[in-house]
Amino acid sequence: MCFCVFVGCVFTTTIAQNCQFSFNGKISDFHDNSPIIGASIQIEGENKFATTDFDGFFEFQNICAGKYTLILNHVACETKRVRFNITENTFKEISLEHHIEDLEEVIVTSTNKTTSNTVQSTKIDRKTIDDFSGESLGDALKNISGVSSLNTGNTIVKPIINGLHSSRIIVMANGVRLQDQDWGIEHAPNIDINNADRITVIKGTNSLEYGGDAIGGVIVLEPTKYFLKDRIYGKTILGLQSNGKGGNLHTNIVKTTEKGWFYNGKATLKRFGDFHSPNYNLTNTGLNSKAFSLLTGVKKFEKGFTVDYSFINNKIGIFRASHIGNIDDLVTAINSKQPQIIENFNYDIVSPKQEIKHHIFKVDYYQRFKNSGKLEVQYDFQKNERFEFDVRVGDDKNKAAIDLNLKTHAVSANFNFDSNSNKTYKVGFKGVYQNNFANPETGVRRLIPDYDKFDAGFFAIGNFILNLKTTFNAGLRYDFNYINAKKFYIKTRWIERGYDTQFNDLIIGDFNTQWLVNPTFRFHNLSASAGIHHYFNDKTAVLFNYGLSSRAPNASELFSDGLHHSAARIELGNLAMQQEVSHRVSATYAYKTSKTKISIEAFFNTIQNFIYLAPFGTEQTIRGAFPVWNYKKTNANLFGFDFTWQQKLNETFSYSNKSSLIYGYETKNKRDLIDIPAPNFRNSLQYKNENWHQLGVRLESEFVLQQNNFPDNNFLTFLPSQKTIAIVDISSTPKSYHLLNLQTDVVFHLSKKTDLHISATISNLLNINYRDYLNRIRFFADDLGRNYALQLKINY
């Protein structure tokens, strides 16, 4: 008994001795080390709490020896758990992130901030993206004033920003710059719009971290946000359309955890048969598309990583009547009021057609450093396989006429110095190696040769808050481009182009009627940007931008030499091409109240060595006579206005207007530029009733004027069948047209976590016959007729 009492006394004394420790600490901001006031601290599993004072200090008394977990909370900060082993009186400094914009949320992206408020930019939200789930990126972007599209039918849609397209526009998908064969007018971005949660369009050159060659602008597809919670959720979209008698299916499943892990799987299917105009079937215009992506990683505030893989496979029919066999067919097609080939509806996709497979693999890692900023490193790999099929007979009818394999490796790193929120700086580097292989087994002359390409770019950007109303941004970038190609030239073509006097030193082999040449090019490109944004008051603001941008010519502009089969024309590049240099100035006026939003944007862009593709004449081949299009260079000016107005009329009705006007001309030849969008105006009236299943009804009017400013590229040609000289009119533009579109949608709450969205749309409500200047099939057929579309979307 005495022994037990003795042991109990000793144990009690030991406990008392070990519970006299103090645990003090200071909580400060991770970025600038400023104290965080009013943060709450709890010892997990015990009824012990503390709060930081005005200097960020907290204190616990009478702490026993042992291991403890502190739970730290503060408004606008991410909840943090920290473990300590207490063996003596202890003082610890702890950092919290005090600049998180979304509570308990991690944004999975390879850049800290898509844009600053000193650039001309517009966002497309998740709902609009879902509305265009069955369509293309270019279709969705046309909802932004100043953005139009260059079409080959309705399934191949290339975005145009303020009159510029193709290599002058950068497409960023989840932090990866899209690298595909985008040089042809019938080459659309190979990307599934469903992979984006938001889309930002940046007009002009004022986003140097993405590249210095974005003379037209940048399209940024931003990924989904993931919450730090144990959740599993998703959505499924089913769309059906009458025009094309097909539809699309998209599904997305997300799993997140409190520890920061996330998993995301997406899949999309699209299948359409022949589309139709108001009066006839558009033969061989179907689409068969499959896409999926897998994403996983860990995202914490201090560090994290992402592994991402996506794949898309598109099979696209090229309108059969647009594929001419010779110049006689072209003249006949242009002069005819309807296509020369009209067949019954079919889901089959036959030649002429395209098949494209595009793979993207990305891994990135980031880490934050206290009192300095955030480091990001990334590696990505892309493989683009492009097959273009000509109309052939015999054993070669299933063999591609163009077979290109483009592989791209890219490594990038950047550091964002953001410890001082009033002055932030970002510096970065990117290196790219690209290899293009043109399969020689196609049986036809290769349009694009084999080449290796190396790019290296360095940039520095600063963002400055001058005062409560004014912010300023400035950036500088240098890019080096190196191209090493090997190409066969027919000797007569070599002499015809004048290369025998300029580039004879490039010849490395003599093969009877052809030279094997090894052209190499080195381009040094400098880009710069500056922007200032000023608020006059809480309603009115102005923005001014200047951008200097340089773009090296792409492989098509340098090396094209032969028949582009899916375009049915001969295309000729020019080895003497130099880089384009753009000077762009722009201004924006913005007015915003609770009922009214107005934005007026103006820009002027002068481009030296502007490269464009223009018709030149005809040339006889073994398949007949074809139009010849030359890549040329000139000095060009572009200027225009974009106008956006959103007006809330009352609690249920609202009105919007989006209008654009652009003009482009050659300063050397004093004539208009080709392929400049016509003036266009979109007006819509919307009804919204939140109390009746969020009913929405929108009537849209789309009015496009005839483009009266265009170059005269008509030419004379000899028609063998008629033994006459004829004018080939490929310059005249279609008449103005006006379309009406109607959309309605409702939402049903099936359960606490499940919603059903139903929308119905009628496009070209009045079934109008029209042709669009920027649609290549306008030479051969009318555009699409009326289309009924139904979409079901379930969020769960």
Structural domains of the chain sorted by starting position, each given as residue range(s) with its CATH number in brackets = 4-103 (2.60.40.1120), 123-795 (2.40.170.20)
3-state SS string over 655-666?
EEEEEEEEEEEE
- Work out the average pLDDT over 197-205: 87
Burial label, 594 (beta-carbon count in 10 A; 0-12, 13-18, 19+): exposed
Least confident stretch, 44-58, 270-284, 638-652? 44-58
- 71: amino acid identity, one letter: I
The pLDDT confidence band at residue 234, using thresholds 50, 70 and 90, is very high
The rounded distance, in Å, linking the Cα atoms of 506 and 499 is: 10
The percentage of the chain sitting over the pLDDT mark of 70, rounded to a whole number, equals: 93
- 88: amino acid identity, one letter: E
The pLDDT value recorded for residue 45 is 80
The pLDDT value recorded for residue 76 is 63
The pLDDT value recorded for residue 11 is 39
Number of other CB atoms surrounding residue 512 within 10 Å: 5
The pLDDT value recorded for residue 103 is 36
Number of residues in the chain = 796
The rounded distance, in Å, linking the Cα atoms of 686 and 743 is: 9
Least confident stretch, 31-40, 165-174, 687-696? 31-40
The pLDDT value recorded for residue 94 is 86
Mean pLDDT score of the chain: 89
The pLDDT value recorded for residue 786 is 98
- Work out the average pLDDT over 290-296: 96
The rounded distance, in Å, linking the Cα atoms of 744 and 765 is: 13
* DSSP codes of every residue in 619-665: EEETTEEEEEEEEEEEEEEEEEEEEEEEEE-SSSEEEEEEEEEEEEE
pLDDT at 102 over 80: no
The pLDDT value recorded for residue 228 is 78
Interior CA angle at 483 toward 636 and 217, to 5°?
Answer: 40
Q: What 3-state DSSP class applies to 277?
A: coil
Least confident stretch, 499-513, 527-541, 620-634? 620-634
pLDDT at 98 over 80: no
End-to-end CA distance of the chain: 66
The rounded distance, in Å, linking the Cα atoms of 142 and 164 is: 14
The pLDDT confidence band at residue 398, using thresholds 50, 70 and 90, is confident
The pLDDT confidence band at residue 5, using thresholds 50, 70 and 90, is very low
Please, are residues 238 and 252 in contact by the beta-carbon 8 Å criterion?
no
Number of other CB atoms surrounding residue 350 within 10 Å: 16
Whether omega before 627 lies within 30 degrees of 0, making that bond cis, reads no
Higher pLDDT pick, 618 / 188: 188
Higher pLDDT pick, 747 / 628: 747
Paired tokens of 517: 């040449």
* DSSP-assigned letter for residue 164: B
pLDDT at 268 over 90: yes
Q: Which residue has the tokens 């690298």?
A: 179
Higher pLDDT pick, 608 / 445: 608
Tell if the pTM clears 0.85, that is, is over it: yes
The pLDDT confidence band at residue 15, using thresholds 50, 70 and 90, is very low
pLDDT at 202 over 60: yes
3-state SS string over 173-218?
ECCEECCCCCCCCCCCCCCCHHHCCEEEEEECCCCCCCCCCCCCEE
Q: Which of 793, 635, 773 is nearest to 709 (CA)?
A: 773
Number of other CB atoms surrounding residue 399 within 10 Å: 18
Please, are residues 752 and 715 in contact by the beta-carbon 8 Å criterion?
no
pLDDT at 286 over 90: yes
Q: Which of 617, 582, 619 is nearest to 603 (CA)?
A: 582
pLDDT at 397 over 80: no
The pLDDT confidence band at residue 669, using thresholds 50, 70 and 90, is confident
